[in-house]
Each structure stands twice: as C-alpha cells, then as structure tokens.
C-alpha cells in the first residue's frame, strides 16, 4: 500500500474509473486513505453497478466541486426490452417479463427521436432524492410508493450505437438531473413494453472524460511514486469554461481580505489569479455595480 501522505499535500481533481460493485462513497474513502487528505469529495454519484468517470476532488478542489453540479454528462447505456425491474436497472428485482420478439431497430430509432431536447422526466423511486427529509430509496425499500412529479431535463444528443435484439446500446449527452434508468423505462413505454437499463458507463462529467480516468490500483501507484501533480487536474478545472480575471498586487491584498474588486466583468462566476498566474479563488461578477464579489478565497 502507498504510504500515508501528509495532510494538505494533495490538491486537485483526480478522475477515477469507478469499477462495478462499489459505491461513489467507497471511492472517496479509498482516495482519502491513499492521500491522507481529510478533504475529499466526489462530483456526481454513480450507482454501484455503473462504471466510468467519477471526478474526485481533493484538498482545495473540494471548494470548487459544487460548480460541477451543473455540468453535462455523457453515457453509453444498454437498454434491455421485455423485462422490467423495481429499480429500473439490472440490480433490481424483476417485476415483469413480456415477449419482445416484435421490437425492431426501426422502432427503437423512432422512439429515441421523442426524447431529444428539453423533456419532462419522472425520477425512479430508487433514487437519492429526499422527500420529507428521507431518501426515496429508503421509502421504496419499505414498500412505499410516491407519485413523483416530472422534472425538466435536457438531452443534447441521443443516438443508437448498436442493436442486438432485445438490447439497444445508446449514447447520450444530457443535463444534470437526468436518470438513465428513467430513460430506459420511458423508451420501453414508447415501444409498448417494459424495459430496464442493463448496463451503464459514464463517459464524461463536464471537462473530465474516461480518457483522463485512472483505476484505483493505478492511483495507489501514482501517489506512492509522488506523481500526483503529473496526473491531477488543478482545482480550477471545474471552472475552465468561466472567464479569468488577473488582479494587481494591490487588488490581491483586497481580495484576500474578502473585499469586492472593481472590474468590468460579465454576470457570471469568474476565475481569479494574480499576475504570476497563481489561483486566488472564485468570484461572482456583478456588472451592474462594476465589481467582483469573492465567493471562494484561496489562502493556501
């Protein structure tokens, strides 16, 4: 095992290729042990059966992980027609089986057309959404059923990658809040039969892709060899699509005191740096007042 690192030594995002059978929280625990860093969190839960991109924020990156909450995600999913489960995925208990022999590739392609763009989607009962302070999955396990309201989501891309009866492999690029399990259910309804998500691979979360990902055993080797800075993304990586602002020496002092900085910036989050390119944190542009208001001030 890698030696336990000194706290505060590691900062940044590391993209983990989450294996099947472990929770997102399990991955956080492993990274916490490997780095010795107390401040560790993840960006976007992946179900235990799902695999793929799980960005892990370490050290100062935990201060910007919240900005990934609005990030889009992309997936490669398998949807099996003719079988329904209570969880809408392969981990659940089968609740129905029908003959799917008449489902065709053409039907599936036609159904996909109705799910592109902004659409309403009803979340699955087995979800972490809290109703009256309790996660839905807890209530579902106790046999409760709640009529959930549809929530607006956006599916930017949705394509049939392959068809091997009765399984459709699809690619989708979607907004936050999208449940691929619910999409599987709804696609089944669109062709007139039950369906469930039989496999899921997350390909990307915001700027982080599967090509950037490391297995947990590889991460252990990376840390033991002192190569963290060679593979970890900077804590500002979750904001690379936001404008950057460079402060003068006088403004840096003001910023570190939590004072607003006069600047001509758009109404958005901005990345803030000094003249040497050192990251100072995150601000909110207030163009009507001509200032940047500090939201996250980095002192380390």
Together in a domain, 54 and 98: no
- What tens digit of pLDDT does each residue of 220-268 get? 999 999 999 999 999 999 998 899 999 999 999 999 999 999 988 889 9
pTM (predicted TM-score) = 0.88
Together in a domain, 212 and 170: no
- What tens digit of pLDDT does each residue of 92-101 get? 999 999 999 9
Q: Is the pLDDT of residue 1 over 90?
A: no
Residue 89 among the catalytic residues: no
Joined together, the tokens standing for residue 247 give 């402060």
> What CATH number should be reported for the domain holding residue 112?
3.30.2350.10
Number of domains observed in the structure of the chain = 3
Please give the average per-residue pLDDT across 191-201, as a whole number: 97
pLDDT value at residue 8? 59
Report the alpha-carbon distance of residue 111 to residue 105 in Å, rounded: 10
**The domain containing residue 102 runs over which residues?**
73-199
- The average confidence (pLDDT) of the chain is 91
Q: Which residue has the higher pLDDT, 213 or 128?
A: 213
Per the domain annotation, does 3 fall within a domain?
A: no
> What percent of the chain is predicted at pLDDT more than 70?
92
Which of 26, 47, 70, 189 is the catalytic position? 47
pLDDT value at residue 39? 94
Per the domain annotation, does 119 fall within a domain?
A: yes
Please give the average per-residue pLDDT across 181-190, as a whole number: 97
pLDDT value at residue 300? 67
Report the alpha-carbon distance of residue 36 to residue 139 in Å, rounded: 36
- What tens digit of pLDDT does each residue of 2-26 get? 333 334 589 999 999 999 999 999 9
Together in a domain, 23 and 134: no
Report the alpha-carbon distance of residue 142 to residue 84 in Å, rounded: 19
């Amino acid at each position: 095992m890698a030696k336990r690192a000194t706290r505060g030594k590691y900062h940044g995002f590391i993209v983990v290729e989450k294996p099947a059978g472990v929770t997102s929280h399990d991955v956080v625990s492993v990274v916490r042990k490997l780095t010795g860093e107390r401040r560790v969190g993840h960006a976007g839960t992946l179900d235990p059966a799902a695999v793929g991109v799980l960005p892990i924020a370490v050290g100062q990156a935990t201060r910007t992980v919240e900005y990934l909450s609005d990030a889009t995600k992309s997936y490669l999913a398998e949807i099996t027609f003719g079988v329904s489960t209570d969880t809408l995925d392969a981990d659940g208990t089968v609740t129905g089986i029908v003959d799917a022999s008449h489902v065709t590739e053409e039907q599936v392609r036609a159904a996909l057309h109705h799910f592109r763009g902004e659409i309403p989607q009803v979340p699955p009962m087995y979800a972490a959404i809290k109703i009256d302070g309790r996660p839905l999955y807890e209530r579902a396990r106790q046999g409760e059923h709640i009529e959930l309201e549809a929530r607006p989501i956006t599916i930017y891309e949705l394509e049939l990658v392959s068809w091997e009866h009765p399984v459709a492999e699809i690619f989708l690029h979607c907004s936050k809040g999208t449940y691929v399990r619910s999409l599987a259910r709804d696609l089944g309804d669109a062709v007139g039969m039950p369906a469930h998500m039989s496999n899921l691979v997350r390909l990307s979360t915001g700027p982080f892709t599967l090509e950037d990902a490391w297995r947990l055993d590889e991460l252990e080797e990376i840390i033991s060899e002192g190569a963290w800075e060679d593979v970890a993304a900077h804590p500002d990586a979750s904001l690379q699509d936001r404008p950057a602002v460079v402060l003068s020496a006088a403004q840096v002092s003001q910023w570190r005191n939590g004072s607003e900085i006069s600047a001509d910036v758009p109404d958005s989050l901005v990345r803030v740096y000094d003249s040497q390119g050192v990251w100072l944190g995150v601000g909110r542009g207030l163009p009507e007042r001509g200032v940047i208001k500090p939201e996250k001030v980095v002192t380390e």
